[in-house]
Amino acid sequence: MIELEDADKKTTLTDKAVGSSDLSRLGPIQAAQHPIQVPYVDIEAIKSKKPSNWRFARLSARILLFGSCISLLGGAYNKGALPSAAEILPEMRRAPEQTSSTRDRFDFTYRKSTYAVTPRAEYNIAGVVVTHNNISGLGDAYHTSDSVDMKDVCVVWGSNILNDNYRNISYTSEPWTCVISSPDSSVWNRFFADELSNNHLMAKDPAVQAKIQAVRVGDQITMRGLLVDYCPLKDPDILRRTSLVRSDTGNGACEVLFVEDLQILKKATPGAYALYTLGVYGIICALLLRLFIFVKAPYGQ
């Protein structure tokens, strides 16, 4: 129903038809006591208002986050690509050099643990790094950051790198082994398993330790040192032996190398690794910037 109000009385009109004569008896209809207020909007003032510094900061954070994600993805896709045969140095083609060692057994302390080390052979090897493990990774339950064998480096050399066939092999590092695979039998037929080795690396010299940690997939390296057997001094029953031949496979086939010198002659995809690292730090900075803005920016800006 509709309610109309005059000065003296209140009249109610129902849903039935109302004639003009009925409306004339109601007298003049008064305007509402509280008319609707339309807010005044100064369009020119809005147009001339400059964005706050916080808006620029938000925009900068978005741009930084977007750019860092692109950098991270691009670096991740390209980092660690194995070099083509044309990119490989001549030094990588030579076979490892191994001679008998006359050095005496010695003790070696690493991260507050002491090990008894028995030299078995002098060793010099060059090769292309196809995979390495990560002793701090979640997938390695056997190593910690205190493990004396700080990195396993799997390398190929010789006939394997005379062409690009070796790039069609899949290489994976497990906690103790290097696993290689290919679904293509023609690839296997042209691959020489005795020109690949997985090397458990140890070192006493901090400078050599740093070089070991810097080794990445695709790097072309040389290593010189001793093939050794070793065990914890306080627990001699836990003895790890080195392989002395390249033709063995399975458990015990890895070389345990006490590294005295390591050289990275040619790094692989340094630009891709730089992009990846830049992306990681860029994302962290962008997220921290967005958190700072959220905490510090005044409401509505």
Parallel, antiparallel or unpaired: strands 113-132 and 151-156: antiparallel
Does the pLDDT value for residue 139 go beyond 90?
A: no
For residues 20 and 214, give the distance between their C-alpha atoms in angstroms, rounded to a whole number. 98
pLDDT of residue 28: 53
Does the pLDDT value for residue 280 go beyond 50?
A: yes
pLDDT (tens digit, 9 = 90+) per residue, 216-228? 999 999 999 999 9
pLDDT of residue 49: 54
pLDDT of residue 7: 42
pTM (two decimals): 0.72
Nearest to 158 by CA among 180, 127, 189: 127
- Mean pLDDT for the stretch of residues 247-273: 90
Does the pLDDT value for residue 267 go beyond 90?
A: yes
Q: Are 37 and 59 in contact (CB under 8 A)?
A: no
pLDDT of residue 44: 59
- Mean pLDDT for the stretch of residues 233-243: 91
Parallel, antiparallel or unpaired: strands 196-202 and 255-266: parallel
pLDDT of residue 171: 95
Tell me which DSSP letter residue 164 carries. Answer: G
Label residue 204 by pLDDT band (50, 70, 90): very high
CA dihedral 262, 266, 269, 270 (to 10 degrees): 70
Label residue 293 by pLDDT band (50, 70, 90): confident
Minimum mean pLDDT range among 153-162, 172-181, 189-198? 172-181
Nearest to 118 by CA among 223, 241, 252, 234: 241
Does the pLDDT value for residue 2 go beyond 90?
A: no
Minimum mean pLDDT range among 133-142, 144-153, 269-278? 133-142
More confident residue, 289 or 225: 225
- Mean pLDDT for the stretch of residues 106-132: 95
Label residue 252 by pLDDT band (50, 70, 90): confident
Q: Are 107 and 116 in contact (CB under 8 A)?
A: yes
Does the pLDDT value for residue 190 go beyond 70?
A: yes
Please, what is the Cα angle at 258 between 255 and 263, to 5 degrees? 95
For residues 192 and 12, give the distance between their C-alpha atoms in angstroms, rounded to a whole number. 103
pLDDT of residue 6: 45
Label residue 110 by pLDDT band (50, 70, 90): very high
Does the pLDDT value for residue 50 go beyond 60?
A: no
- Mean pLDDT for the stretch of residues 233-237: 89
Please, what is the Cα angle at 163 between 261 and 215, to 5 degrees? 25
Does the pLDDT value for residue 62 go beyond 50?
A: yes
- Mean pLDDT for the stretch of residues 144-166: 92
Does the pLDDT value for residue 86 go beyond 70?
A: yes
**CA dist 79 → 157, 211, 219 (Å):** 21, 19, 11
Report for 36-50, 86-100, 245-259: range of highest mean pLDDT? 86-100
Specify the long-range contacts of residues 84-89, CB closer than 8 Å, at least 24 apart. 84/164, 84/167, 85/161, 85/162, 85/163, 85/164, 87/266, 88/128, 88/161, 88/220, 89/220, 89/265, 89/266
Q: What percent of the chain has pLDDT over 70?
A: 80
User: φ, ψ for residue 79 (rounded to 5)?
Assistant: -70, 145
Q: What is the mean pLDDT of the chain?
A: 84
Tell me which DSSP letter residue 219 carries. Answer: -
Q: How far apart are the first and last CA of the chain?
A: 47
